[in-house]
Structure 1
């Protein structure tokens, strides 16, 4: 697992033009072997400038222009020891915490609720699967026990407000054909299958409430992402790892010496 904690780009104007200064740092952890590593890299105008060799606990540079900075930073032993402690403890602790958060989400499984909906006897029949997690789902139709693909329209995957998902598939058949044959909607999710063949008739012109909620959730999600992105942009040092709690107390940010 790799955690890239922070990237920071500065753009400056000098007599020779516009230049960029970029930092990227983070850590890596192998949950099988327990091996850990870290990286702290700086770039200048899109090219590698200086980087931290954590094993040797020294800064190195692939270009001649970076030598003065390397020499200055390597003489600051207190900063090097601080970096060593940060990358070998706090960064790894946060990475392990995020891995656990991810595993708890990935292991979560919720089966879908399946309904057949029809506005009127002359309307298409919609198979509505909702409330499932994770998002992978397959919706298909059967006619007299055989797969049926004609006049079928598969809808888009939509999010629900509780973090689950919903999806629809609509089939267009005549009332006479529906009565003479047995049509079934088959929903497969996480190795489990649900089949539905009983139609619930909706009032004329109505729309399933789940579809409305899903569409609104999609819009709200876009707004939240936009606001979050703006806040992250405004906070140049937006990530400050903490030890032992998530409330921001006892925070210890990774700092950078002057070049």
Structure 2
């Protein structure tokens, strides 16, 4: 039987600002990309999130980002590679402390937002992120877009490179994500996203915004926890994958 990981960006609330329903999502996903405070998430939120993940048997990953709280990490920052490596190390270490207190650990690393998108083509920043992971713990996998500079750099450093599919995002004919400001970037129909995810798993293709099919291989599928109706979508995806004979389990 085919196995697939289902991950979600969680722990992104900040102070009195609540984003998403982390408790509900942690009952549905197998891996949690937990914010590390640079783009979202305060210490109390991070501690609560990793504790809930541990109780639910959900694998914790460090969701690292640019230092951009005001922009939610969705603005490109032309940071020097040495500084970016230090920033990523700092974020992993901070989340690791919360994990240790909760009886769990950081099991993988995934860039967030603009850093994720930059690491698709920006070789220097991709290598800077990978350098931080390799220096911190070379056994940690790196989660990223198939064919990206990030995964290429991870493989070159001997790290496990895990390709990822986005359940609720549109794809271009080149296999990249449609920018959020463009039509077709966000998908909100649970039935539609479930059908396309099952097709990706079984046939290895996804329908791009121009109607063509794009080859995609992934070990993990991401469903954004801050999207409207994320919980209902996650439940629909779980049910659809189960009906297709796909086992949900963490990759790390």
Q: Structure 2 length normalisation: TM-score? A: 0.18
- Give the number of the structure with larger relative contact order, counting CA–CA contacts within 8 Å between residues 6 or more apart: 2
Greater percentage in strand? 1
Q: Structure 1 length normalisation: TM-score? A: 0.18
